[in-house]
Amino acid sequence: MGAKNPIISIGINGHPSMWEGDLNRLEDSLKFFESIGFDHVEIPPHGLDVIAGGRLIEKRLEEIKRILGQFRLNYTVHAPDFLNLMDVENADLHKSVFIASLEFTSSIGGRLLVYHGGRVPVEYAKDKNRMEELKSVERMLLREFSELASKSNILIGVENSNVDPAVASGKVYTYSAFIDQLVEQIIKIERPNIGITFDFGHASVASIHFGFDYLSSIKQASPYVNSLHVYDSFGRPNNVDKNLPYMFQLIYGLNDLHLPLGWGNLPLEEVFTNLEIPQVFMTLEIHPRFKSEYVESLKIARYLASLARERCI
């Protein structure tokens, strides 16, 4: 009996800038995604103006559901990037936004909600006891959200964080940029519907900036992964200018570029050849300025997925 294909479906991210609250643009982009052949779309509610003050706007939600229901596509959801369960000073606000994101995911029939691991001012990280307390707070809340998610058969993926300019400059600390710490957090949460959303681009930049082995980190995270964020990049932290516009970051190959597959130098073929994972969602997170490259990137993604299937036990 052959190995089971671990890739549940291959999708594309709906970048917030695609829509900026315009539901006509949402409908047009979904038509485009479906015509290319994607299986699912990762929906950011912060691109649809459907959450306000930590609560869903029901009338707008119904219109979004009507639009999404026109297509054969399945859906996953990316919670707002600003969501931070380690920000205890604003805990109630973050909790309400997380619950609203879960409710949105359930309402549209989404099967996965992605959340970026918590972050704190860098001075907090110097106190190990304080950091452990904050990680414990995040674990407690994620267990609580796990119960809510299980009622709608939703997975929660904690994503390894990007080394953005605030992190690269030493102002912000995010434990989930370190894959070993993210794995430890997931193990301690100990809930079957909470795993890792592994972002290959984020991990590449972090491995260079913080000095850990990229391929070993992927192997370490693999048993706990429930979704993948895939795109190309050069893995270079932006240590040049934190305010450098994207067009110049692209020229220099800096930071989290979200390039079409084949445009950067991430060793994706090597990664997928050696990838042994549970069943996962595979989402291409490609910048919408490169939408003309989506067809080619989907072809490459299907090839990469076939490599993982061959290696999965």
Domains of the chain: 7-311 (3.20.20.150)
In this prediction, residue 60 has a pLDDT band, given cuts at 50, 70 and 90, of very high
Q: What is the pLDDT of residue 168?
A: 87
Phi-psi region of 233 (alpha: psi -120 to 50; beta: other; left: phi over 0): beta
Predicted confidence band of residue 103 (pLDDT cuts 50, 70, 90)? very high
> Contact, 175 vs 185, CB < 8 A?
yes
Asked whether 205 and 232 are in contact (CB, 8 A), the reply is: no
Q: Report d(CA 230, CA 210) in Å as an integer.
A: 21
* pLDDT score of 124: 93
Could you tell me which of 222, 227, 179 has the C-alpha nearest to residue 312?
Answer: 222
Q: Is the pLDDT of residue 94 over 60?
A: yes
The confidence score (pLDDT) of residue 186 equals 98
Say what the pTM is: 0.95
Average pLDDT estimate for 259-280: 96
Q: What is the pLDDT of residues 205-247, one digit of tens each?
A: 999 999 999 999 999 999 999 999 999 999 998 888 888 999 9
DSSP of 299-313, one letter per residue?
Answer: HHHHHHHHHHHHH--
Each residue's pLDDT tens digit, 241-267: 888 999 999 999 999 899 999 999 999
Are 186 and 195 in contact by the 8 Å Cβ rule? The answer is yes
* pLDDT score of 165: 85
Give pLDDT, residue 67.
98
Name residues whose C-beta falls within 8 Å of residue 153's C-beta, 6 or more positions apart in sequence: 111
How confident is the model over 64-80, as a mean pLDDT?
Answer: 98
Helix ranges (H only) for 112-164 are 128-150
pLDDT above 50 for 22: yes
- Within the chain, strands assigned E span 7-13, 40-43, 51-52, 55-56, 74-78, 112-116, 119-121, 155-159, 172-174, 194-199, 225-230, 280-284
Write the CB contacts of 163 (distance below 8 Å, at least 6 apart in sequence): 177, 202, 205, 206, 209, 210, 237, 255, 256
Confidence of residue 13 (pLDDT cuts 50, 70, 90): very high
Q: What was the pLDDT predicted at 243?
A: 86
Given a cut of 90, whether residue 312 has pLDDT beyond it is no
pLDDT at 269 over 90: yes
What is the rounded average pLDDT of the residues 78-89?
A: 96
**Across residues 64-83, what is the average pLDDT?**
97
Question: What mean pLDDT is reported for the chain?
Answer: 95
Distance from chain centroid for Cα 15: 12
Residue 57 binned pLDDT confidence (cut-offs 50, 70, 90): very high
